[in-house]
Amino acid sequence: MSGTQATAGDGVDAATVRRAVEVLLHGGLVAFPTETVYGLGADADQPQAVAAIFRAKGRPATHPLIIHLARAAAVQRWARQIPSPAQKLINRFWPGPLTVVLPRGARATDLLTGGQDTVGLRCPANAWAQSLIRGLCAARGDDAAAIAAPSANRYGRISPTRAAHVRADLGEKPDGSVDFIIDGGESTLGIESTIVDFVAGNARILRPGSISRSQIAAAVGGPVQIAADVAKTPRVSGRVSGHYAPTKPLELVAPVDLIDRARALQPQALGILAPSEQLTRLGATNLALGIAAPAAPQDYAHALYDHLRQLDASAAARLLVAAPPSGELWDAVHDRLRRAAAGSEGRIIDAD
Ligand code: TXA
Ligand code: MG
């Protein structure tokens, strides 16, 4: 059953949230919208419920979950230490699309952290997500009650930005694995949160997102590292090749090479994501689906996973994506496209 009736100005329906909180209290799984992507949530203090997340996704137990909080003050109940740059980032970007990785407190069990000594914490801004976490806090009489949630997709597949994506991928019980899916419309940002950890007091980006490196640097008042190769951070599976993969082979192609590559692949049917002027110059002979790539990075990110799903569902045998422009505003999009290409070639090492 899904709640879709919107009543409040922010679109949040109180009865739907109450129902979802009941499901969480009883150890069930709730898929819910955030401004980044949809999450697959369980009450973080119920081990059986958290274990069900891993089963539903088919995700290895060593991959840590993000703990979603209603308010920044709850951080102290989940982390044993908050380095000063972390506090600055929290003050500046919460609620919002930022996850901080901090030394874990006792409440952040091995099950949640994948056995690591750190915990990933995020306070989402989306009104449904906020209402849901606050509802759980109220029902439990605990301001630090929290929802453990990865993205609501099967391990290795494309992240969901709409309720329909969750329904198609995980499904609702009894046929699927989710107890309750909240339909809160499209995720506004469309790609996962920026993840930052702190090594020797310095901020380091583990996963690029819509909060850019220079925004992070400005907020901490100092330089910001970007984590080196994915191979060096195996536990951060979002950074490992093979994430966000469509089922069809996907190639990232320099824009100047797109037409030649499409011709070389004839007569195979192609699904192509490229600027509209390139699509029109292609000739339609072997085009199963052409999607005009948005020109602005935030529009591109917003639609990216939906576009990848459309291409994957089309009659195309192979997918071509014209590499977007460079520049830090495009970092997160490039990161997700590179992983989609790697994963679609079967180079799946890890994926969340
Ligand atoms: O925007 C988001 O972050 C979404 C929404 C639902 O909040 N969540 C999300 O979760 O993308 P997931 O599980 O699909 O990806 C979380 C990433 C994983 O790559 C995980 O390894 C990493 O965060 N992570 C979580 N805790 C960590 C920790 N303690 N140390 C390093 N990486 C961590
Ligand atoms: Mg994920």
Whether 254 and 223 map to the same domain: the answer is no
**H or E element, residue 134:** helix 127-140
Whether 174 and 118 map to the same domain: the answer is yes
Is the CB of residue 288 less than 8 Å from the CB of residue 269?
A: yes
Q: Distance from the CA of 213 to the center of ligand 2, in angstroms?
A: 21
Question: Judging by beta carbons within 10 Å of its beta carbon (0-12, 13-18, 19+), is residue 348 exposed, middle or buried?
Answer: middle
pLDDT of residue 10: 79
Q: Which of 34-48, 91-105, 125-139, 221-235 has the lowest mean pLDDT?
A: 221-235
Is the CB of residue 188 less than 8 Å from the CB of residue 302?
A: yes
Range of the domain at 97: 14-232
User: Which residue from 151, 155, 159, 181 has its CB within 8 A of the most atoms of ligand 1, so it is best to mutate?
Assistant: 151
Q: Has residue 159 been placed in a domain?
A: yes
Whether 132 and 260 map to the same domain: the answer is no
* Mean local confidence (pLDDT), 60-64: 93
**Torsional sign, CA 93, 95, 99, 104:** positive
Query: In this structure, what are the phi and psi dihedrals at residue 156, rounded to the nearest 5 degrees?
Result: 90, -5
Among 200, 232, 264, the domain-final residue is: 232
Q: Has residue 272 been placed in a domain?
A: yes
Whether 196 and 320 map to the same domain: the answer is no
Whether 163 and 295 map to the same domain: the answer is no
* Mean local confidence (pLDDT), 125-154: 98
Beta strands in the chain, from DSSP E residues, in sequence order = 30-32, 39-43, 66-68, 98-103, 118-122, 147-149, 180-181, 194-199, 202-207, 225-226, 250-253, 270-274, 287-292, 318-322
Whether 198 and 329 map to the same domain: the answer is no
Whether 192 and 260 map to the same domain: the answer is no
pLDDT of residue 347: 56
Q: Has residue 2 been placed in a domain?
A: no
CATH number of the domain to which 32 belongs: 3.90.870.10
Q: How many domains does the chain have?
A: 2
Is the CB of residue 224 less than 8 Å from the CB of residue 247?
A: no
Dihedral, CA of residue 5, residue 8, residue 11 and residue 15, to nearest 10 = -40
pLDDT of residue 85: 97
- What is the pTM for the complete model shown? 0.93
Is the CB of residue 226 less than 8 Å from the CB of residue 333?
A: no
Residues lining ligand 1, Cβ inside 6 A: 34, 36-37, 39, 63-66, 99, 101, 113, 116, 118-120, 122, 149-151, 192-193, 195, 206, 235-238, 352
Q: Has residue 5 been placed in a domain?
A: no
Distance CA 77, CA 145 (A): 9
Whether 110 and 220 map to the same domain: the answer is yes
Express each pLDDT in 219-239 by its tens digit.
999 989 999 743 333 344 444
Express each pLDDT in 257-267 by its tens digit.
999 999 999 99
Which pair of tokens denotes residue 117?
């000594």
70 pLDDT above the threshold of 70: yes
Which pair of tokens denotes residue 197?
């950890």
Supply the mean pLDDT for the chain. 91
Q: Distance from the CA of 326 to the center of ligand 2, in angstroms?
A: 24
* Mean local confidence (pLDDT), 297-304: 98
190 pLDDT above the threshold of 80: yes
Looking at ligand 1, which residue's alpha carbon is closest to its atom 6?
Answer: 39
Residues 284-321 as b or e (16 or more Cβ within 10 Å = b): eebbbbbbebbeebbebbbbbbbbbbbbbebebebbbb
Neighbours of 283 (CB within 10 A): 11
Neighbours of 217 (CB within 10 A): 14
pLDDT of residue 284: 61
pLDDT of residue 351: 60
Q: Has residue 219 been placed in a domain?
A: yes
CATH number of the domain to which 328 belongs: 3.40.50.11030
Whether 165 and 263 map to the same domain: the answer is no
**Cα 304 from chain centroid?**
12
pLDDT of residue 193: 98
Is the CB of residue 160 less than 8 Å from the CB of residue 305?
A: yes
Q: Which ligand is nearest to the CA of 120?
A: 1
Q: Which ligand is nearest to the CA of 53?
A: 1
Whether 139 and 263 map to the same domain: the answer is no
95 pLDDT above the threshold of 50: yes
Residue of 190, 209, 236, 177 lying closest to 38 (CA atoms): 190
DSSP string, 65-91: PEEE-SSGGGHHHHBS---HHHHHHHH
